[in-house]
Amino acid sequence: MLRLPSQSGELSRRTFLFSTLVLATPMVGAADATGVDNLLSFDSLYKSVGVLGTVYSDQAKALKNKEVRMRGYMAPPLKPESKFFVLTREPVAVCPFCSSDAQWPADIVVVYLRDTLAPINLSRRIEVTGTLEMGSWTDPQSGFVSQVRIVDAVVHK
Amino acid sequence: MRSKTSFLSAAFLATALSATCSAQTIFPLTRADILAGSLFDFKVEFDSVVDPAQVKVSINGADYTKTLGKSAVLVAKEDDKEVSSLLLRDASIRKPGTYVVTATDGKVSSSVTWTVYNTPVKKAAKNVILFIGDGFSIGHRTAMRILSKGIEGGKYTSKLAIDEMPYMALLTTQGTDSIITDSANAAHAYTTGHKSCVNALGVYCSRAANSLDHPKVETITSLAKRHGMAVGAVTNSEIEDATPAAMVAHTRRRSDYNDIVEMFYQSKIDVMMGGGSPNFLPKSTPGSKRKDDVDYIERFKQADYRLATTKTEMLAAANDPKTTKLLGLYNTGNVDGALDLKFLKKGSVAKFPDQPDVPESMNAALKVLSRNKNGFVLMVESARIDKYSHSLDAERAIYDAIMLDNAVKQAKQWAKANGDNTLILVTADHSHAVSVVGTVDDNKPGPDMRNKIGTYNEAGFPNYPAPDADGYPNKVDVSRRLRVLFGSYPDYYDTFAPHMEGEFVPAIRNAAGVMVANDAYKDAPGAELRVGNLPNIGSGAANSGVHTGDDVVLTAMGPGAQKVHGQMENTDLFRVMAEALALSPQKQAASSKASTN
């Protein structure tokens, strides 16, 4: 579960991240060494999304621990000191009072960056290249729980 | 008239006095109304490390243990900080009256006053159904009435179920920290009778570092269960979200979803239905949001809960006469609102095609809960009136208000057919700045949408089709539609039309960290940029509309409802329920935890 302190301070730290500098490369296709199309979409990631759990697609399973590309939107970053952000299917407007920050969509992908990230317009779709990881992982610094990650990632605008 | 100088000096004096008196903070806070026999944590926070020999705490002039029946623990350095606290968990007072609590560390002292009230010995109502339209405001009420009732000869053709109730009051919603409340401390006021602060559930907001360590107060769920009653919570938000969580939770931080699932489990609540399944799944299950491998689906099943993940399963479980406990989880996130669920099929309807709406969930809950012969307390929430109002999506909010009215209509029918001994309360937890200002008519001349707005006599009447049996027009994007405006908003593109492709997302943070209008709507026909009137930078930056401090309406019927009138604090609603159900301890129901006072 995503654990955050109460609203005070949290958003200002998010704002801080935007002032950090970042490496960004143009949007290009990643190498496709496996023969499986390594462009994963939010739809092709799962065979099914259900109340009692999700089932990964055959494509996703075949790409586990391999280099993939995914397109989506960057959610407002959580912590400036960690090099990760949440990639979502649609632009997310995390609302501090109507919905707590625990209410992320179930199908998010967490991106761990190779380098720090250049400021990004959160309403623009981005492409992320990196290694696909699957399985529960609790970020040791933030306590953020993720099921799907792209690690050692590079962001293409 | 008082001179400015004397006013200022009086203000200064008041500030100075309050500074002197704030040396210790005592929980429950001053002016608390406490139900006799209900459990609460008693805490005194000193502003330094104290000498235990100098600490004296009295209640009505005698040592506090005489009233509370047991001794508190003096924590020398709370959370390893240079401050001491006195803490007594699960205190209670059985004798009604006024209690003045004074605490001193030998240097300074402070006092609070509590009122402990009793309830009648005999219960007036067998059951209570509390409806909460989250964020449900007067503007929604008027808009839903126009859509689902229609006007003839200047009069509505019939009444809403929520209007046709004999008792009404205005509830004030402010909390201990702010004039503006959120859904957590607002629902907490209803379920505990105590005021609290934004984000808090079932606790007073103290300086404790851990969100679960704050001074707790007892919930209506715990009280009703102690009286042998059944309890249910039905919502279309995630079940861990603030309003349903207020039925069982004790945390300073409403986003403690995993802990809240455990609190639901521990509460032994009989029926719980909504969305939010990922926090029930062990982390090894794909889709889980837990940090541990506890399988709460399995734990609830082992505790004899029937599990339903679809409407079909829910109906089967509820119709089985052996079902007395029911866990319904219908979506990973929020259950879809009425407009998407019934008409547009947007949102997550494709992914979860068999979700119940709120009235269907309520009817299933009524079946299961009424199998307890001692009666029940049921909270029913139409949660997305608020969420859609945050996102300035007026049509979705209005359809979910109509859904609330449907639930109330069916609850009234149920109550009438089942002994006429159910207290029904319908209210909101807080308001939004939402108003019906007229209509928008696509057929008016000119390119500018703002000049197609009709006000006063030009507004006339909208041309929605006649509503179906449940009060919903089956077409929302009509040519002459309601113009509903929100008074608080971030930058956004006003499209003057319902959002047929899915819930509106008004604003997004840009690369510089500034909240700006979501340009996905920039090219919608006739879209106009509205520059926001809320903060757009920093910790208070708003990406949606915000709650307002306006009063909310409470309507009521059934035994005990006559206590609802005039202006009341939101905490008074708890008292109305407690009195109707005679929840203060009776001789035969004396709890071993209660003090001997």
Give the start-to-end residue ranges of the domains of chain B: 20-117, 127-433+548-586, 489-544
- Average pLDDT over every residue of B391-399: 97
Cα of B184 to nearest chain A Cα, Å? 9
Q: What is the pLDDT of residues B303-322, one digit of tens each?
A: 999 999 999 999 999 999 99
Alpha-carbon torsion (B580, B586, B592, B597), positive or negative: positive
Range list of β-strands (E), B256-302: 271-275
Segment A124-136 shows an average pLDDT of 93
| DSSP labels, B182-196 | -HHHHHHHHHHS---
Cross-chain CB nearest to B277 (options A12, A52, A120): A52
Q: How confident is the model at residue B17 (pLDDT cuts 50, 70, 90)?
A: very low
Split at pLDDT 50, 70, 90, the class of A103 is low
Distance from CA of B48 to the nearest CA of A (A): 25
User: Among residues 24-43 of chain A, which lie with CB inside 8 Å of chain B?
Assistant: none
Q: Identify from B289, B431, B501 which residue to disrupt to test chain A contact, counting A C-beta atoms within 10 A and taking the largest count.
A: B289
Q: What is the DSSP string of A27-81?
A: --PPP--SSS--EE-HHHHEEEEETTEEEE-HHHHHTTTSEEEEEEEEPPPS-TT
Domains of chain A: 10-156 (2.40.50.140)
Interface of B with A in 285-304 (CB under 8 A): 285-291, 297
Within the 222-241 window of chain B, which residues sit less than 8 Å (CB to CB) from chain A?
238, 240-241
pLDDT(B195) > 70: yes
Mutate to test the interface with B, among A3, A85, A99 (most CBs of B within 10 A): A99
Q: Look-up: residue for tokens 């299950």?
A: B285
> For residue B596, what pLDDT is reported?
35
**pLDDT at residue A3 greater than cutoff 90:** no
Type of residue at B206: S
The 10s digit of each residue's pLDDT in B34-43 is 999 999 999 9
Q: What is the pTM of this model?
A: 0.91
Of A18, A95, A134, Cβ closest to residue B390 = A95
**CB contacts < 8 A (A, B):** 158
Chain B residue with the nearest C-alpha to that of A92: B508
CATH of domain B20-117: 2.60.40.10
- What pLDDT is stored for residue B159 in this prediction? 97
Contacts with A6 from chain B: Cβ below 8 Å: 198-199, 252-253
Residue B138 has pLDDT above 90, yes or no: yes
Q: Which residues of B touch A103 (CB under 8 A)?
A: 238, 241, 333-334
Nearest-Cα residue of chain B relative to residue A100: B255
Q: Helices B394-417 and B138-149, interaxial angle, to 10°?
A: 80
With DSSP H G I counted as helix, E B as strand and the rest as coil, what are the percentages for chain A, rounded to 5?
10, 35, 55
* DSSP letter assigned to residue B464: P
Q: What's the Cα-to-Cα distance from B527 to each of A122, B139, B389, B497, rounded to whole Å?
A: 21, 23, 19, 9
Q: Average of pLDDT values for B283-303?
A: 95
Q: Which of A27-36, B171-180, B305-314, B389-398 has the lowest mean pLDDT?
A: A27-36
| Mutant choice from B183, B255, B290, B388 vs A, greatest count of A C-beta within 10 A | B255
Say if the Cβ atoms of B511 and A100 lie within 8 Å: no
**If you average pLDDT over residues B425-443, what whole number do you get?**
98
Chain A closest-CA separation from residue B193 CA (Å): 22
What's B127-433+548-586's CATH class? alpha beta
Tell me the pLDDT of chain B averaged across its residues. 94
Specify the pLDDT at position B587.
54
User: Cβ separation of B537 and A105 shorter than 8 Å?
Assistant: no
- Cβ of B486 under 8 Å from any chain A Cβ? no
Between strands B422-428 and B552-557, the pairing is: antiparallel
Mean local confidence (pLDDT), B128-139? 98
Asked if A63 is an interface residue toward chain B (Cβ–Cβ < 8 A), one would say no
Of A1, A5, A98, the CB nearest to B257: A1
Q: Cα dist. B499→B383, B451, B496, B524, B544 in Å?
A: 19, 20, 9, 10, 16
AA identity, residue B596 = T
